[in-house]
Structure 1
Amino acid sequence: MSARTRVKICCISSLAEAEMAIAAGADALGMVAASPPGSGAADDATIRAITAEVPPPVATFLLSSHLTGLAMADHLRHCGAGTIQIVDHIDPSEIAILAVAMPAVRRVQVIHVEGPSALELIPRYEPYVHAFLLDSGKPGGTMRELGGTGRTHDWEVSCAFVQATRRPVFLAGGLTEANVGEAIARVRPFGVDLCSGVRTDGRLDPVKLEAFMAAVRAA
């Protein structure tokens, strides 16, 4: 019997959305701080109000745009999340600083899959993080994207990444009820992560959410 695929629902922007996601069976909630691009951003006070109410064992992820370990640690103290999702390809030495400052916080490095070169980032980050999250952003260039694109990427690269690392891997990027079964079959991630795929007009949609959760359970 294969292991159960975990589900992280991102862009949670209110306690009502958090409660809806938890009731549907989400394993983790992602809260986007106001500065990273993408939908579903929330201010720090709202994020703290959410994290204060989330019951165990549901994990809380803070998506922060800070690029230094000390700034990320300070942001985490304000927001109360148990996991930091590092949305940019930052210097690993800053993650090491964060690990010393807040050793109990779990660290997840986002890898933006633009091609096979994504695999080259495994040895760069693996010693410093607890998990990876593969997304479809474009951190380089003039129009930087750090997630929330609603696009899929090359799942063959993602599959190779999962096989090459000893860390758990979340798969994100354009996932919906219609394609998550194929994504799980092809990539075999530890978990899946999505925002827009369960939303209508920017709001968490209970019908789409339940359909997505059912598709994951059937995969």
Structure 2
Amino acid sequence: MVDAVHIDGNFFRGFVHGFVNWPVDIYYLGRDYLDTDNRAVHSYDKERMLRMVKTGMASRQNLEKVLHLFMDNFFEHVEFQKVRDLSTKGGGKFLGRMAFNQVAAANMGYIFSSRLIPQIVTGMTIGSLLSIGAAMSRSVYVSRDLQRRNPSAYNVLRRLGDLDLLYFMVAEKTRPFEDATALWFTDRNKFHQTCCYFFEKV
């Protein structure tokens, strides 16, 4: 999670590399070609994507919505006072600079999401990339994986306008937060410890 929000001079190159990864895209393209059993379903998903690009839904603003969903979900489960109490370093530099409470959590998703989206990413850039066949195949498979792992998030993104098809662009950044949120349901103590480590490092 810490690595996901740290930004350096090469951030844009790294961000773009996250969803313009030629070997990975070629893998999904080949998988798509061989996956004849699901060709009809994938064809429908690709039609959804083309409509999204055509109507301008493949935008930076909607990519931010995808990020906000996962970041907000994580921060909604963070008990900031407990994190500060458990942390041997007093909640870390980030928490130490601010008087946190549960109300503050409402803006945390936005704050961290904004650190994950470089200003240079534009709707035209995203739309152009989605028009590439290999990227389309990757988008479809990653969306299906999200539907299997996290049907609730998938359904929300789908209702927002097929934004599940944009998820593959940020999956590498959001997955650590998704996994941490899943801990809240299975092991609350481990979740709080994870939060302590995260806030000590950011």
* Larger relative helix fraction: 2
Q: Which has the larger radius of gyration?
A: 2
Which structure carries more relative contact order (alpha carbon 8 Å, separation 6+)?
A: 2
With normalisation by structure 1, the TM-score equals 0.23
* Larger relative strand fraction: 1
With normalisation by structure 2, the TM-score equals 0.24
